[in-house]
Structures are given as structure tokens and as C-alpha cells.
């Protein structure tokens, strides 16, 4: 079986793979790129696996004229910089010790060992430089059936690394057949390992939730996360009941992951998910204004096209309502509107905080009028 794609024939990738194999090593594409190519889905990053040690990778790639960065050299990862992008080149590994968060790995010469430490069978697929599929664990039938299956025993694999609980829901949301339910054995293993979630860093949890909530339809996974108790552990106070209505309204055109978060979570989640300051500000604006009475135009003026749309979708989902008529035109009217008053209109009579307060009041009136009050009306 052969796979195709620009990312396979890209000069950088070909240079890396050819240099390593000319030096007598195995080197293959692995993981997400191979999986997504087979599923005809877009490819994000291209990872390469090899039996060369990191030192050999560095020496070989330097001889081929490439620059490298020793990003995770202790774990076997070297980043190769090429004209067609950067590639993570990781030495085959085998776990010798795991504690649920960190794994002690040793390098391996054996691709089957490398495949066996990966999480899911659809993530354990490799491809050669010419795109020939290499499938040490026979993961292809699972991928073709869009069946998300752990490599080995789910309970064992989860206790090795509790992040796999969240990865299971993330990959299920993005890659599994939506008509397939969730595997009972996996859910049992998850339920009996909930305490392990407490050991994960909030940064890793946040990264998984970003991707999960960015899926076309995260609702089934989120609901099962709630049923198994996972959701309450990572986002206490959240309520999954509005996420399916939101996704339904979106009709296959997903809004931002933060909009999904805003309708799911309760209160402050910045620490729980290690949100950036910008993400946190957006999250709170979405939540404040989904509960406000601002018109579509007012939202457009305050937040711009995308966030204003997110807020209207959130309201419609929360109140089981349709989107307001002509909402896109109204948002647009708001985005191009100019507040007809400026500080100069009140100087020198007003200044400092009094001026600020007065302007704010007029701005509120203007927003409440759906941006229709004129300059004269506001000044009178």
C-alpha cells in the first residue's frame, strides 16, 4: 500500500530520509502524517523515526548540509531544519519504566518495539521515503474502519501515561467513526484511573483540550468524558449539555474552540488549562456577552466579526433559539460603524476620570440604541 502527498516528496523530508538510509540506517515517516494521509485529512507536522542514535542523526544530517537543533535529545528527538520546513527525527525507543507521567526510555533498533510504545494502532503506522506503508502492528484495518484502539491492554497503557485518557477522547472525536460508540473496556479502564489525571500538568491538559474542542464534533466525546467523571476532574463546574446544540447550530462549520469552551466550562479556567492571557480574555468576553443583551451590531462593534458571530451562536445554543435574522449584515454594520463622539467634544469642560466616565456612558447609550443614535442626539 502506497501513500501520496506533497509532504512525502518535499525536498527536506527526502534529504533527511535519503541521507540516513545512505548511511545505513532505517528512517521512516511515522504517526500523524501517515495516519492523516491514509484518511485523506490535512497534515500538520511530519515526524520521522529512525534506528540511528541522536548523535548519528546529527552527524548524518550535518554531512547532508542540514542544520539541527537537539530539542529533546535525551528522549531521542533531534529537529532538522530544511528549506521545506522543520522535522522531528526521533530514534526508535522502548519504555523501560513509566510512572504515569514520565517514561524512562532506551533507544532501540527495532521498529516493532518503537510501534509498541505508541498509544493507538492508527498512530503506529510508518511509511518509507517512497510512501510505502510499513505497519508493524497491523494497524491499517483499524484505521480503515476508523476504529480507535489502544496498542495493547488499555488499562496498562493508561497507567503508564494518564494523558492517554485525554488523547483517547481527542482522537476519538477527530478520527473515529462517529456512529461507533466508545469501547466499554476502555471506558472501564478510564473510570478506574481517574485519580491519575491529577498528576498531569495543566499545560498538557490544556493542549489536549484545545485540540479536542477544535474537532468538527467534540460533543459525543465531551459527553462521555462527563459520564466517566473525567470532565469534572479537569474542569470542575462544567456542564456538557449545551455543546451538542452548539455543534448542531454550527452545521459543520466549527466556531472557535474557545466558544465551545465558553459553553462547556463554568467560571475561571485559566489555571486549569493554562490559557494564554489572550485566550483567557477572549473566553471571558464570550461568557460575559453570551449573557448580555447587546445587539448583533453592538457585538460587531465591540468584538469584530468572528467573536460577535461566536457570541450569537452561543446565545442561540443556550436559549434553544434560532440565530437572529440578518445577523451577518448586522454584525457587519457594527464592524464599520464609528462612535460619533470623541473626548474633544467635552474639553475643556470635562477632563480626567469625569471625562472618561461621561464618554463611557454615552457609548453605552449608543450601543443600546443599536448604534442608531446620532451625534446630535448623543450631545443633546
The footprint of ligand ATP on residues 199-228 (CB under 6 A) is 211
∠ CA 259-270-189, rounded to 5°: 85
Cis before 314 (ω within 30): no
Structure-block grid coordinates of residue 279? 485566550
Structure-block grid coordinates of residue 339? 462612535
Give the separation between CA 197 and CA 178, rounded to whole angstroms. 26
Among 20, 78, 163, 189, binds ligand ATP (CB under 6 A): 163
Return the number of the residue (58 or 215) whose C-beta is nearest ligand ATP: 215
Minimum distance from CB of 199 to Mg ion (Å)? 23
The helix/strand/coil state of 85 is: strand
Report in angstroms the alpha-carbon separations of 37 from 11, 171, 202, 250. Answer: 18, 15, 31, 26
Q: CA 213, 216, 220, 223: dihedral to nearest 10 degrees?
A: 20
Return the number of the residue (60 or 124) whose C-beta is nearest ligand ATP: 124
Residue nearest to Mg ion (CB): 32
Minimum distance from CB of 33 to Mg ion (Å)? 8
Minimum distance from CB of 62 to ligand ATP (Å)? 25
The helix/strand/coil state of 283 is: helix
Return the number of the residue (13 or 373) whose C-beta is nearest Mg ion: 13
Minimum distance from CB of 174 to Mg ion (Å)? 12
- 100 near ligand ATP, judged by CB under 6 A: no
Minimum distance from CB of 151 to Mg ion (Å)? 17
Minimum distance from CB of 291 to ligand ATP (Å)? 33
Q: What's the N-to-C CA distance of the chain in angstroms? A: 76
Residue nearest to ligand ATP (CB): 32
Give the separation between CA 48 and CA 57, rounded to whole angstroms. 11
Among 41, 45, 185, 192, binds Mg ion (CB under 5 A): 45
Across the strands, what pairs with 104? 97
Minimum distance from CB of 118 to ligand ATP (Å)? 3
- 142 near ligand ATP, judged by CB under 6 A: no
Contact of 221 with 181, CB cutoff 8 Å = no
Helix (H) or strand (E) holding 351: none
Picked from ligand ATP, Mg ion, none, the partner binding residue 123 (CB below 5 to 8 A depending on kind) is ligand ATP
Among 51, 119, 208, 310, binds ligand ATP (CB under 6 A): 119
- 161 near ligand ATP, judged by CB under 6 A: yes
Residue span 11-50 as binding mask against ligand ATP, x where in contact by CB under 6 A, dash where not:
--------------------xx-----------xx-x---
Among 8, 15, 26, 32, binds Mg ion (CB under 5 A): 32
Q: How are beta strands 47-50 and 85-91 bridged, if at all?
A: parallel
Q: Which residues lie closer than 8 Å to 229 by C-beta, 6 or more apart?
A: 191, 194
Which residues make up the interface to ligand ATP (CB under 6 A)? 31-32, 44-45, 47, 118-119, 123-124, 161, 163-164, 167, 211
Binding residues (CB under 5 A) for Mg ion: these are 32, 45
Amino acid at each position: 500500500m502506497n501513500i501520496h502527498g506533497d509532504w512525502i516528496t518535499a525536498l527536506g523530508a527526502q534529504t533527511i530520509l535519503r541521507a540516513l538510509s545512505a548511511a545505513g540506517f532505517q528512517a521512516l515517516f511515522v504517526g500523524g502524517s501517515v495516519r492523516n494521509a491514509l484518511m485523506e485529512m490535512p497534515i500538520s507536522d511530519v515526524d520521522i523515526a529512525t534506528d540511528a542514535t541522536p548523535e548519528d542523526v546529527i552527524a548524518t544530517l550535518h554531512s547532508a548540509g542540514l542544520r539541527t537543533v537537539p530539542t529533546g535529545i535525551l528522549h531521542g528527538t533531534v529537529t532538522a531544519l530544511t528549506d521545506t520546513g522543520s522535522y522531528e527525527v526521533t530514534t526508535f525507543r522502548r519504555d523501560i519504566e513509566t510512572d504515569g507521567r514520565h517514561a524512562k526510555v532506551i533507544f532501540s533498533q527495532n521498529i516493532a518495539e518503537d510501534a509498541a510504545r505508541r498509544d493507538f494502532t492508527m498512530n503506529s503506522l510508518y511509511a518509507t521515503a517512497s510512501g510505502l506503508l510499513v505497519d508493524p502492528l497491523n494497524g491499517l484495518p483499524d484505521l480503515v474502519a476508523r476504529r480507535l484502539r489502544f496498542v495493547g491492554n488499555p488499562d496498562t497503557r493508561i497507567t503508564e501515561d494518564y494523558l492517554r485518557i485525554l488523547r483517547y477522547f481527542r482522537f476519538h472525536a477527530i478520527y473515529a467513526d462517529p456512529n461507533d460508540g466508545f469501547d466499554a473496556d476502555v471506558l472501564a479502564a478510564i473510570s478506574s484511573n481517574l485519580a491519575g489525571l491529577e498528576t498531569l500538568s495543566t499545560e498538557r491538559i490544556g493542549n489536549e483540550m484545545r485540540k479536542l474542542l477544535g474537532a468538527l464534533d467534540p460533543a459525543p466525546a465531551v459527553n462521555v468524558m462527563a459520564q466517566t467523571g473525567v470532565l469534572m476532574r479537569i474542569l470542575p463546574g462544567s456542564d456538557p449539555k449545551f455543546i451538542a446544540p452548539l455543534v448542531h447550530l454550527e452545521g459543520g462549520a466549527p466556531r472557535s474552540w474557545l466558544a465551545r469552551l465558553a459553553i462547556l466550562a463554568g467560571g475561571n479556567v485559566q489555571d486549569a488549562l493554562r490559557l494564554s492571557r489572550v485566550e483567557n480574555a477572549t473566553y471571558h468576553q464570550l461568557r460575559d456577552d453570551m449573557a448580555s443583551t447587546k445587539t448583533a451590531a453592538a457585538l460587531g462593534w465591540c468584538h469584530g466579526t468572528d467573536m460577535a458571530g461566536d457570541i450569537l451562536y452561543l446565545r442561540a445554543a443556550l436559549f434553544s433559539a434560532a440565530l437572529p435574522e440578518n445577523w451577518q449584515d448586522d454584525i457587519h454594520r457594527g464592524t464599520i460603524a464609528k462612535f460619533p463622539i470623541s473626548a474633544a467634544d467635552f474639553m475643556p469642560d470635562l477632563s480626567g476620570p469625569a471625562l472618561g466616565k461621561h464618554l463611557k456612558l454615552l457609548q453605552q447609550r449608543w450601543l443600546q440604541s443599536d448604534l442608531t443614535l446620532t451625534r446630535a442626539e448623543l450631545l443633546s
